[in-house]
Amino acid sequence: MSSETHLGPILTAMVTPFDDSGAVNEAAARDLMRHLVEHGSDGVVIAGTTGESATLDDEEKLHLFEAAVDELGGRATVVAGTGSNDTAHSVHLTREAAARGVDAVLVVTPYYNKPNERGLRAHFTACAEAAGDVPVVLYNIPGRSVINLEPDLLIELSRIPNVVGVKQANSDMDAARRIVEESELALLAGDDNLLCPFAEIGGAGGITVSSHLAGERMREVFEAASGGDSERARALDAELEDLYSTLFIAPPPATIKAALGELGFELGGVRLPLVEVDEAELTELRRMLDALRPAVAARD
């Protein structure tokens, strides 16, 4: 079955810039959005995990959604992170994001409270109904939510009219093939190193973090893999393995902001309980940037 989506293959899970006081820096957010779209990203995910959604309040999230739609509307995709482990809260954010004109919403598997399958069906159905005509992308990340959305359940959820895709942060290739072959869901890589293998089996792209730095190169990987040139795709992807791994030597909001800082962006720090990178981590990020310099986009 189809695994295509109109959202675009390279969607960057964007960090949220803060100013010196720790408040959201809208001007820096707009600047970063433009840079990402000009360097390989088809769109951005706002207030996802990498955007520090856990420590953004609703007013901050909704303001960021509005800014993204105003900045990118009509030329790039804006996906709003609206999911949580509280269905009523997720429904509220989803409804408000849809009213602000976002192109899609990303709804994560409820974490910590561990609902059963009936609860998961009810949760995602409520969020989809709140979205109205706005497309919904499910987010399957068992490493954070404990629960894995099994292929049978994803296939069932795909029958909800506006559920269009799944961000799959799960390396089970058999499950990935079933999603592509037995559902209409767009399969989106939820881990950067899954972009290439998922594209080879018909995946629609990825929601990635390394595209903050190498969006154009990641687009080349996707286009080669989805076009059947696996040899070229794997060679290009291998060149990015250092980037993929180094961004996870500390929680990615911190590493991404530090790396982008080396490239001329002023994005502020991170909110507790996250902390900024230490000197050893910064040294490793600098080493990675030097090694990948031809593939990395500095600030224009």
User: How would you class 135 by CB atoms within 10 Å of its CB: exposed for 0-12, middle for 13-18, buried for 19 or more?
Assistant: buried
| Cβ(213)–Cβ(243) below 8 Å | yes
**Catalytic pick among 111, 112, 114, 167:** 167
Count of beta carbons in the 10 Å neighbourhood of residue 126:
16
Task: Respond yes or no: is residue 257 known to be catalytic.
Answer: no
Outline where DSSP puts E strands in the chain.
Answer: 10-13, 43-46, 77-81, 104-108, 136-140, 163-168, 186-189, 205-208
d(CA 76, CA 88): 29
Cis peptide before 115 (omega within 30 of 0): no
Tally of residues, the chain: 300
Q: Provide the token pair at 210.
A: 């390394």
CA 140 to the chain's CA centroid: 12
CB 9 within 8 A of CB 208: no
Q: In b/e form, how buried is each residue of 63-72, taking b as 16+ CB within 10 angstroms?
A: bbbbbbbebb
Residue labelled with tokens 């408000």: 96
Q: Which residue has the tokens 């739609």?
A: 69
Q: Which residues pair with 137 in a beta bridge?
A: 106, 165
Catalytic residue among 61, 112, 114, 139: 139
Provide the terminal-to-terminal Cα distance of the chain, rounded to the nearest Å.
41
Strand partners, 189: 168, 206
167 is annotated as an active-site residue: yes
Q: Which residues are catalytic?
A: 139, 167
